[in-house]
Amino acid sequence: MNASLSAVAAESTSADDVIEARIAELVGQMTLDEKIGQMVQTHYPGEVSAEMADAVAAGRIGSLLNVVDADVANELQRIATDESRLGIPLLLARDVIHGFRTVLPIPLGQAATWNPDLVERGTRIAALEAARAGVNWALAPMIDISRDPRWGRIAESFGEDPYLTSRFAVAMVEGFQGDDLSAPGTIAACAKHFAGYGASEAGRDYNTTNIPENELRNVHLPPFKAAVDAGVTTLMTSFSDLNGVPASGNRFLMQEVLRDEWGFDGFVVSDWDSIDQLTDHGFAAGFRDAARKAVTAGVNMEMVSRTYADHLAQLVEDGEIAIERVDQLVGEILRIKLRLGLFENPYTEPGDFPESGNDDHLAVAREAALQSLVLLQNVGNVLPLDVRGLDSIAVIGPLSDDPYEQLGTWIFDGDPGLSQTPLQAIRTFVGDRAEIKYVRALETSRSRDTAGFSEALEAARSSDAVVLFLGEESILSGEAHSRANIDLPGAQVELVRELRSAGKPVIAFILAGRPLTIENVLQEVDALVFAWHPGTMGGPAIADVLFGIESPSGKLPVTFPRVVGQIPIYYAQKNTGKPATPETYVHLDDLPVRGAQAAFGMTSHHLDAGYTPLFAFGYGLSYTEFTYSDIELSRSTLGMADSLTVQAVVTNSGEVAAEEVVQLYIRDLVGDVTRPVKELKGFKRIRLQPGESRTLSFELTGVDLAFYGQDMELMTEPGDFHVWIGGSSDAGLQSSFTLVDD
């Protein structure tokens, strides 16, 4: 180790030693009630009551939720540090999910950018705006693997893939926490929900999850491991049970995996009231038992419910919980408060931070919204529109001009006054070059009142092009907002069909919190862009794509089903013993009457929906065409300690400059446990001018090929592999290599 590295290591060790000494000193001075107080998180009701002030001064509260006013935050911190016996500052938590005042696309939309650097920049902005309001702990990122679009909280996720989600988990942790956790404007991050929450049965929120340990380790845990490796300070438990053991009482997750295997030294907070809910699950016989099981499992802090406050002291006195266990859990909370520098500077000075919603913040929000837009269909290259050839444009739909709804779910602090809507942006861009005929047509996305259809149809008939803004209101996705039918709600499908009769080009932008089953409208529109809920600057981003200022470059982070009955459907499926193929697939309409049972279609597919999705993971069109050629591997045989370079040439063979997300997939053909038919292992976003070619290279090592086998140990197994480079999970150039023992 060179001298400079030695100095850094010594400084780090010294800083850690100081923190550990302070933890030991504080814990040694604390009464049992004060220790329990650090484990209590209370909801801020909107005012600092005398009762709350007394509880903070007495050390009976360690954290508060939902304080978003710097003056209030400073007063609470003053009470905690000046009036309590030991002067321990508070953690002030808030759900900072996809922005603060400036709202970025929902996380699922951010995942469609396939741009972790951009997501990190957006998260940094969210951290600065939240810190300005006194927040020092963001209850994000949510990194549950989500393969069921019926689940409302898929909106908060990064989609279906462990690798992609892991990359965004790291980006958000680093965006919130920065390089120095004690620096101004950095706030603690919280990876949630640990673990398996995205696999809730039937997509019903809070529901049971049954996940074999092998799948848990290979699919659902990797993003959390990536977050821990990136230094995330806290984790939050899932509401759901996992294989019969609710997460907030699950020792396997909190102790064996998180602390013993991964070496996590931060702390775990329960989700809202989830320790109380151990009784509803039928896992605990009352709140006292719930507190005992949560502490035993390793949940440091209880959110909102009061089982710790009411029962933990007696559990210790009765010998059911060892004081050493309490000391450990409290010490882990103090460790994060010390690393945040709260003991030295608990206060917030808003003037030290940039104004929320400033031009720089809006620029990043616009870039994120732009890169999140996914072009799914463009028949006859109807997009982009050339305003020079148009006299009038009909802008129609309930989400055309709604500053609030475009922000999406979990935007408690979002400012609709900052929003620029699609209609506003279209009018700004077009100016007086063409007439804009706006008709809302439906009051909300759920409305079934068709009274506005006649006006909309007249606008369509008298215009040169129809631009529709459809989808879901923000309240239709997010926590507790699961849907069994994920078609466009209300009378929107009927509206599309009505407007199609006008005989004009129809362009649809869909703003939604989840993938929707939109096969029933694809044939009715010429072009379709999935815009998610794009946030504050959704309008200008949409206008840029609509009029060709920029080419769409988003790629799907989740598979789109044709019908809800295909769910779950995802690209990294297993092959099965009877995989479907184009040759073996039989539609129910093709089955002969009274035909033999085994005569046709004896493969894994639905007779009425096939075996392919509507749109594949990684899919997204452009205004140009990208051609892939000349895939090459640096070697055909890879040793366990070696690296393999996979490269291909990507060419912009069209006529406009555009960005492409180049994707690398592998398949392990034979394994100790069956492996997916494809797995994402790398991606790069590049911009190419017309006619420009570039060679893209990816490195693979034995570590990249590792998986958990039958014995639940991470293993890298020799064997044959396929590898692809392409623009989506269902297209690309293929080659192969063999992994061998060194």
The Cα 408–Cα 13 span in angstroms is 44
Q: Please compute the mean of the pLDDT values over residues 600-607 and round it to a whole number.
A: 86
For residue 2, pLDDT beyond 50 = no
Of the listed ranges 15-24, 459-468, 587-596, 684-693, the one predicted with least confidence: 587-596
Instruction: Give the type of residue at 347.
Output: Y
Q: What is the pLDDT of residue 105?
A: 99
Q: Residue 319: pLDDT above 80?
A: yes
In the numeric block, the tokens 């300070």 are attached to: 233
Residue 491 has pLDDT above 70, yes or no: yes
Name the E strands within 113-168.
137-138
Cis check: omega of the bond before 195, within 30 degrees of 0: yes
For range 508-522, the mean pLDDT: 98
In this model, does residue 9 exceed pLDDT 80? no
Question: Which residues, at least 6 apart from 187, have a Cβ–Cβ distance to it below 8 Å?
Answer: 96, 127, 130, 131, 135, 136, 137, 138, 176, 177, 340
Residues in the chain: 742
Confidence of residue 1 (pLDDT cuts 50, 70, 90): very low
pLDDT of residue 6: 45
Quick one: pLDDT at residue 597?
82
Walk me through the domains of the chain, giving residue ranges and CATH numbers. Answer: 31-352 (3.20.20.300), 374-546 (3.40.50.1700), 572-612 (no CATH), 626-740 (2.60.40.10)
Rg of the chain in Å (alpha carbons):
27
Quote the distance between the C-alpha of residue 149 and its chain's center. 13
Mean pLDDT for the stretch of residues 269-293: 98
pLDDT of 5 above 60: no
Determine which of 180-189, 200-209, 431-440, 598-607 has the lowest per-residue pLDDT on average.
Answer: 598-607
What's the rounded mean pLDDT across residues 460-465?
98
Q: Which helix (H) or strand (E) holds 93?
A: strand 91-94
Q: What is the distance between the alpha carbons of residues 682 and 698, in angstroms, rounded to a whole number?
A: 7
Identify whether the C-beta of residue 658 lies closer than 8 Å to the C-beta of residue 551.
yes
pLDDT reading at 10 higher than 70? no
Say if residue 8's pLDDT is above 50.
Answer: no
Dump pLDDT digits (tens) for 320-352: 999 999 999 999 999 999 999 999 999 999 999
Q: What is the Cα–Cα distance from 370 to 658, expressed in whole angstroms?
A: 12
pLDDT at 12 over 60: no
pLDDT at 706 > cutoff 80: yes
CB of 458 closer than 8 Å to CB of 504: no
Q: Does residue 13 carry a pLDDT above 70? A: no
Res 7 pLDDT > 70? no
Average confidence (pLDDT) over 280-288: 98
pLDDT of residue 599: 67
Q: For 351-369, what is the mean pLDDT?
A: 98
Helix/strand/coil for 178: coil
pLDDT of res. 674: 97
- In this prediction, residue 11 carries a pLDDT of 53
519-572: pLDDT as tens digits: 999 999 999 999 999 999 999 999 999 999 999 999 999 999 999 999 999 999
Is pLDDT at 72 greater than 60 in this prediction? yes
Average pLDDT of every residue of the chain = 96
Average pLDDT over residues 656-676: 98
Scan for tokens 């140990």, then name that residue. 713
Q: How far apart are CA 147 and CA 199, in angstroms?
A: 7
CB environment 529-541: b (16+ within 10 A), e (fewer): bbbbbbbbbbbbb
- Residue 464 CA to residue 662 CA, distance in Å, equals 36
Peptide bond preceding 141 in cis form (omega within 30 of 0):
yes
**What is the reported pTM?**
0.97
Q: Is 739 a residue whose pLDDT tops 70?
A: yes
Using 50, 70 and 90 to split pLDDT, how confident is the model at 247?
A: very high
pLDDT value of residue 407: 98
Sole residue written with tokens 């492409």: 660
Quick count: other Cβ atoms within 10 Å of Cβ 232? 25
| Angstrom distance (rounded) from CA 353 to CA 362 | 16
Across 203-228, average pLDDT: 98
Which of the residues are catalytic? 271
Instruction: Write down the residue that tokens 């800083």 correspond to.
Output: 15
Position 463 scores a pLDDT of 98
pLDDT band at 409 (very low <50, low <70, confident <90, very high): very high
Give which of 665, 440, 395 is closest to 542, Cα–Cα. 395
Do 349 and 494 contact (CB within 8 A), yes or no?
no
